[in-house]
Amino acid sequence: MEGFKEKVRTMELFQENDGSILSTLPGKVRVLVDAQYAALAIMDEAGKITTFHVSGMEESDVSKMSSHPTGLGLLGALHKSNSSIRVANIFDHPQSVGFPDGHPVMTSFLGVPIRRNGRSYGNLYLTNKLTAKEFTKHDQKIVEVMAEYVALSIENERMYVNETLLVEQVKHQANRLETLIENVDVGIILSDINDDVIISNKMTATIFGERLQAGNKITTCLEEYRWLRNDGTLLWDGQSPLEIKKVAPNSYDESETEITVHHKTSGKALSLSVIPIDQDGASTNLTVIRDVTKIQENETVKSEFLSMVTHDLRGPLATIQNLTKSLGIIKSGNELKSVRISLEEETENMAELVGNLLHMARVESGSIPYDPEICHILDLVNECNNQFERSRFGKSHKLHIHVASSLPSFYADHSLVLRLLNNLVSNAAKYSPTERSIWIKAHKLPFVENRVQVEIIDRGIGIPTHEQKKIFDKFYRLSNSASRVGAGLGLAICKHIVDLHQGNISVSSISGKGSSFKFDLSTV
Ligand code: ADP
């Protein structure tokens, strides 16, 4: 078992003389009151002894002891009481519990609590008065004065430690705040009454292209921006609302503390929130800057999309309404046939648009069911061909199929791949003059293991090279108005389906000559 001496060493509890004032104190008090032994126990707030300095004991005495004093018995009573304990024989005291094994024999005892301002810091003990049977009142007075001195120095030390800790904590919090401000994903500028930058964070450098240095004017970096109200009307041309506030504080509308500015040429949009702070009597402004270009673009796309959908649905609906009305006055069979064909076309257009919108909404909400199974491309292509022939394009275009029967099967969601094929074939027909042929070809990819490639080819209007990359984006339709037939969702859906199957989709096209869309899937 670990010896007491070892234990106290590792706990820094038992310190004979480490050179500090408190460690030498028991020795001094011992001499003053003629005691054989003296000890100073310093306790934490819970009453646990944290430091124990002794005087009068040899190393060999210490190593004989089985444990260090734990603050029970007489020592515990002393800690709890407000007054000193002085007895001729320790064992005569009702609270005495005896000594740990190996402890030197002690008889007379003088214990003084170390207290100050109602707080207990530990005890001073003197034992075995050498020149008399017991310690005197005079001894007690001397030790109490010493205890007062110890209490004062412990109190000072703890106050110093607490203060140092507090300073450290404040420094730590300040550092954290600084790191937070520096790395937050909005621009932050603290400026003085003259609009001069005091500090700015990293994001302002990203927003303005350069870091704003202390002393720069905020207005200088915003010179290229137009100030707009929320309704889009111009606020003050080239002048910062911060300046207006200074010139005519009463006319400044508080609701305009959040303002959107637009770059005069690039269209970049920034939202600025200005929060005035009164700090030590000096007025400063905290300006929070967010780049809202993307959000505003999305808003524009959203509203364009809504008006497009409304338009695209209203068009066929009006036609269907007129055609239905005309049914009542139709006389000849030929007229009836042509109305029926037109009705079919318009409802198909609407069904395709609504189908794509629904599919995209489910993609966005992550609720598209993906249910893969073993499929064969020939089955899928035949199914696509049947649906194509039943559609309005079945009469206007011819679909040719070149699929090798020996192609291996693949693992895919049957209905999603059918939707992919239908979208590509219907686009091929939509964007080709009537009577033109369309081809679906499927073959094994050369040089790549286990992949089937499917190709949909048309001889239609084609896609200009610079627009080919964008056509897989949601809501993208070619700038050429002649080809604005759908909602710009079909190819985005195709790309999503191919991505789900970990495949690739691409287009090659020549304007005016035709297009070829290719996608590949891995075989079983
Ligand atoms: P939409 O539903 O409007 O057809 P898509 O996402 O399917 O939307 O297609 C996006 C745009 O790409 C279309 O507006 C069209 O201009 C062009 N496009 C798609 N397929 C073809 C094709 N086979 N030939 C020519 N242009 C095409």
Tokens at residue 173, please? 């919090």
**Residue 229: predicted pLDDT:** 62
Length of the chain equals 524
**What whole-number distance in Å separates Cα of residue 421 and Cα of residue 441?**
11
The one-letter amino acid code at 86 reads: R
**Residue 426: predicted pLDDT:** 93
The answer to whether residues 414 and 485 touch, using CB atoms and an 8 Å cutoff, is: no
User: Which residue segments constitute the domains of the chain, with CATH numbers given?
Assistant: 2-161 (3.30.450.40), 187-291 (3.30.450.20), 296-368 (1.10.287.130), 369-524 (3.30.565.10)
**Which DSSP string do the residues of 288-354 spell out, in sequence order?**
EEEE-HHHHHHHHHHHHHHHHHHHHHHHHHHHHHHHHHHHTT--SHHHHHHHHHHHHHHHHHHHHHH
Which residue shows structure tokens 């054989």?
36
Contacts of 154 (CB under 8 A, 6+ apart): 22, 42, 114, 121, 122
The answer to whether residues 84 and 144 touch, using CB atoms and an 8 Å cutoff, is: yes
**Residue 71: predicted pLDDT:** 58
Closest approach atom of ligand 1 to CA 472: 6
**What whole-number distance in Å separates Cα of residue 421 and Cα of residue 439?**
12
Exposure string for 153-164, b = 16+ CB within 10 A, e = fewer: ebeeeeeeeeee
**What whole-number distance in Å separates Cα of residue 11 and Cα of residue 14?**
8
The answer, yes or no, to whether any atom of ligand 1 lies below 6 A from the CB of 457, is no
Q: How much distance in Å is there from the Cα of 337 to the middle of ligand 1?
A: 29
* 3-state DSSP assignment of residue 411: strand
**What whole-number distance in Å separates Cα of residue 96 and Cα of residue 90?**
7
Mutate to test the pocket of ligand 1, among 349, 427, 430 (most ligand atoms within 8 A of CB): 427
**Residue 216: predicted pLDDT:** 84
Q: For residue 92, with 0-12 CB atoms within 10 Å meaning exposed, 13-18 middle and 19 or more buried, which class applies?
A: exposed
Tokens at residue 103, please? 């402890």
The answer to whether residues 256 and 264 touch, using CB atoms and an 8 Å cutoff, is: no
Low-confidence stretches of the chain (pLDDT beneath 50): 1-19, 238, 244-252, 255-256
What is the β-pairing status of strands 398-403 and 437-444? parallel
Whose alpha carbon is nearest atom 25 of ligand 1?
Answer: 462
Closest approach atom of ligand 1 to CA 483: 16
**Residue 400: predicted pLDDT:** 97
**What whole-number distance in Å separates Cα of residue 524 and Cα of residue 423?**
25
Q: How much distance in Å is there from the Cα of 491 to the middle of ligand 1?
A: 7
- In this structure, the number of other CB atoms found within 10 A of the CB of residue 185 comes to 10
Summarize pLDDT for 262-301 with one digit per residue, the tens. Answer: 888 888 888 888 777 766 666 788 888 999 988 888 887 7
**Residue 321: predicted pLDDT:** 85
**Residue 235: predicted pLDDT:** 62
**Residue 417: predicted pLDDT:** 96
Q: How much distance in Å is there from the Cα of 468 to the middle of ligand 1?
A: 10
The answer, yes or no, to whether any atom of ligand 1 lies below 6 A from the CB of 514, is no
Which residue shows structure tokens 């990293």?
202
Q: What is the dihedral of CA 134, 139, 140, 146, to 10 degrees?
A: -140
**Which DSSP string do the residues of 157-211 spell out, in sequence order?**
HHHHHHHHHHHHHHHHHHHHHHHHHHHSSSEEEEEETT-BEEEE-HHHHHHHSSP
Exposure string for 93-130, b = 16+ CB within 10 A, e = fewer: beebeebeeebbebbbbbbbbbbeeeebbbbbbbbbbe
End-to-end CA distance of the chain: 69
Phi-psi region of 522 (alpha: psi -120 to 50; beta: other; left: phi over 0): beta
Q: How much distance in Å is there from the Cα of 449 to the middle of ligand 1?
A: 31
CB-side neighbour CA atoms (13 Å) of 431: 33
The answer, yes or no, to whether any atom of ligand 1 lies below 6 A from the CB of 489, is yes
Closest approach atom of ligand 1 to CA 477: 14
**What whole-number distance in Å separates Cα of residue 391 and Cα of residue 397?**
10
Q: Which uninterrupted H or E stretch holds 286?
A: strand 282-291
The answer, yes or no, to whether any atom of ligand 1 lies below 6 A from the CB of 490, is yes
Closest CA to 346 of 389, 304, 301, 315: 315
The answer, yes or no, to whether any atom of ligand 1 lies below 6 A from the CB of 460, is yes
The answer to whether residues 90 and 73 touch, using CB atoms and an 8 Å cutoff, is: no
Q: How much distance in Å is there from the Cα of 424 to the middle of ligand 1?
A: 9
